[in-house]
């Protein structure tokens, strides 16, 4: 009897790899998620995550509202609900959007599990594999992950201190059409951009809308930070001036609390129908309890006054971040001064790789997000996103002090030995991020 050769055990770590759908190749952990375990340690000053600081919330008021909700409407709140969302909350959402000039009907609002799910639903409804989504350069890492998971091709368009550059958008549209590909939408964060911190100017908003209208490109306006400006009233939303070609996304995660996971999409009526169907296939319905809790908070608390307190708190932290950078960082660094939101976008000295430097920063007990997380094509190595929303001003200054020490040591090593590996300093078409001029 012949001996049957014994096959060596598979070296694969995942024995199911041949069974997955092709689209799972696009499902990868973001660079921010990879930092969570480290950044959450108390000895580490995290300038990485964009966690809202909810310490200013009146938890007694919130707790009382939830207690009353359980006592008065518990059986309803803990039951299945509508795939479109609680009618009372949808009505209140129209009041929130009115602060940014949007006049809308509650019937065109779809409540989602955070605005992240809204990005997913819109992409699922509109995009086939190989379709193109145009995004600002850089762009929100969570949206890039969605587009990649649905096998979309992302084309970046340049930003500067006034937001998305209209001519860059024209060029991106022209290049995609010349390649024979289909553009499904422009994904944009016009207010206090994540990660760049810049805001699209009023003049450019009109021009961007006209470009997209004339080119037949839908606009997906993601606006979680719009009410968190430090020095002025909210800017007029893109959706306020274009009802038929803009899908607007909002969220209570930044203006109330992220733990409820309540966001929404405002869409033209036919699109709304498709989003409701997609919502029902994904979750059946958004959580009824979370929606009714948020609704009770809006009905019984001075939520606009609470947002004003958040704005003042985040402005204090922004000031601590910017002053610490000015006092402590090497002179060859550049950064912007955001007028709202959560983030500063910092440009490193030539030849310094933010991703390569990150392990040394973590060893020094400070964390940030490398700029490469916010590009679909691997660019952004000379940038980092610094978040000022969560740490106290004192912790922000200490974090910047630690980061400056790491950067100075990195610069000394480079001056002595030269760069260890070539660093990509230039992004698409000669561009690697928005202007960080302090003026």
Q: What is the pLDDT of residues 220-238, one digit of tens each?
A: 999 999 999 999 999 999 9
Quick one: tokens of 160?
């500067």
- The whole-number pLDDT of residue 422 equals 45
Strands 246-251 and 263-266, by their bridges, are antiparallel
pLDDT bucket at 158, cuts 50 / 70 / 90: very high
Instruction: For residue range 249-278, list pLDDT tens digits in order.
Output: 999 999 999 999 999 999 999 999 999 999
Q: Which residues contact 200 (CB under 8 A, 6 or more apart)?
A: 162, 163, 164, 188, 190, 191, 208
Instruction: For residue range 399-415, list pLDDT tens digits in order.
Output: 999 999 999 999 988 77
Whether residue 219 has a cis bond before it, omega within 30° of 0: no
Are residues 199 and 184 in contact, defined by beta-carbon separation less than 8 angstroms? no
- The whole-number pLDDT of residue 39 equals 64
- The whole-number pLDDT of residue 119 equals 98
Are residues 372 and 381 in contact, defined by beta-carbon separation less than 8 angstroms? yes
pLDDT of 8 above 70: no
Distance between CA 190 and CA 168 in Å, rounded?
A: 15
pLDDT of 176 above 80: yes
Total Cβ atoms within 10 A of residue 246: 25
User: Which carries the bigger pLDDT value, residue 112 or residue 28?
Assistant: 112
> Is the sign of the CA dihedral 423, 428, 432, 437 positive or negative?
positive
Counting residues of the chain whose pLDDT is more than 90, the rounded percentage is: 78
pLDDT of 15 above 90: no
User: Which carries the bigger pLDDT value, residue 55 or residue 200?
Assistant: 200
- The whole-number pLDDT of residue 417 equals 72
Task: State the average pLDDT over residues 100-120.
Answer: 97
Nearest-10 crossing angle of helices 141-149, 114-126: 30
Q: How far is CA 409 from CA 8, 35, 174, 199, 332, in A?
A: 47, 22, 44, 34, 14
Residue 387: its H or E element: strand 383-387
Around 76, how many Cα atoms within 13 Å sit in the side-chain half-sphere?
A: 10
pLDDT of 76 above 90: yes
Distance between CA 289 and CA 76 in Å, rounded?
A: 8
Strands 183-188 and 218-222, by their bridges, are parallel
Q: Which residues contact 407 (CB under 8 A, 6 or more apart)?
A: 329, 330, 333, 348, 349, 352, 357
- The whole-number pLDDT of residue 30 equals 63
Distance between CA 283 and CA 316 in Å, rounded?
A: 39
Instruction: For residue range 355-404, list pLDDT tens digits in order.
Output: 999 999 999 999 999 999 999 988 999 999 999 999 999 999 999 999 99
- The whole-number pLDDT of residue 424 equals 43
């Amino acid at each position: 009897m012949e001996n049957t050769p014994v096959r060596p055990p598979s070296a694969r770590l995942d024995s199911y790899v041949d069974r997955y759908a092709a689209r799972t190749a696009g499902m990868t952990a973001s660079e921010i998620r990879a930092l969570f375990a480290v950044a959450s340690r108390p000895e580490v000053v995290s300038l990485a995550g964009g966690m809202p600081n909810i310490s200013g919330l009146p938890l007694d008021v919130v707790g009382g509202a939830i207690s009353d909700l359980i006592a008065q409407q518990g059986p309803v709140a803990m039951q299945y609900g509508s795939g479109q969302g609680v009618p009372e909350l949808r009505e209140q959402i129209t009041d929130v959007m009115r602060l940014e000039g949007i006049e809308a009907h509650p019937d065109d609002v779809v409540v989602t599990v955070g605005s992240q799910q809204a990005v997913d639903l819109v992409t699922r409804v509109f995009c086939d594999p190989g379709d193109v989504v145009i995004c600002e350069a850089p762009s929100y890492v969570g949206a890039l992950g969605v587009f990649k998971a649905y096998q979309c091709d992302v084309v970046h368009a340049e930003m500067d201190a006034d937001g998305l550059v209209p001519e860059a958008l024209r060029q991106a549209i022209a290049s995609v059409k010349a390649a024979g590909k289909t553009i499904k939408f422009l994904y944009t964060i016009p207010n206090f951009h994540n990660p760049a911190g810049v805001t699209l100017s009023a003049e450019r908003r009109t021009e961007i809308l006209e470009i997209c209208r004339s080119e037949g490109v839908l606009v997906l306006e993601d606006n979680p930070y719009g009410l968190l400006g430090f020095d002025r009233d909210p800017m007029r939303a893109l959706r306020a001036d274009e009802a038929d070609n803009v899908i607007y996304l909002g969220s209570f995660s930044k203006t109330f609390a992220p733990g409820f996971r309540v966001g929404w999409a405002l869409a033209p009526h036919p699109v709304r129908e498709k989003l409701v169907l997609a919502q029902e296939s994904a979750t059946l319905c958004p959580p009824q309890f979370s929606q009714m809790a948020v609704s009770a908070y809006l009905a019984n608390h001075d939520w606009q006054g609470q947002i004003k307190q958040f704005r003042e708190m985040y402005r204090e932290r922004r000031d601590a971040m910017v002053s610490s950078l000015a006092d402590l960082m090497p002179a060859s660094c550049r950064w912007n001064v955001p007028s709202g939101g959560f983030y500063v976008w910092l440009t490193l000295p030539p030849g310094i790789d933010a991703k390569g430097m990150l392990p040394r920063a973590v060893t020094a007990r400070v964390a940030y997000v490398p700029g490469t997380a916010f590009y679909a094509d691997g660019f952004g190595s000379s940038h980092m996103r610094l978040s000022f929303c969560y740490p106290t001003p004192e912790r922000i200054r200490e974090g910047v002090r630690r980061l400056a020490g790491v950067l100075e040591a990195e610069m000394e090593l480079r001056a002595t030995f030269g760069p260890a590996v070539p660093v990509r300093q230039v992004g698409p078409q000669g561009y690697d991020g928005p202007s960080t001029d302090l003026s």
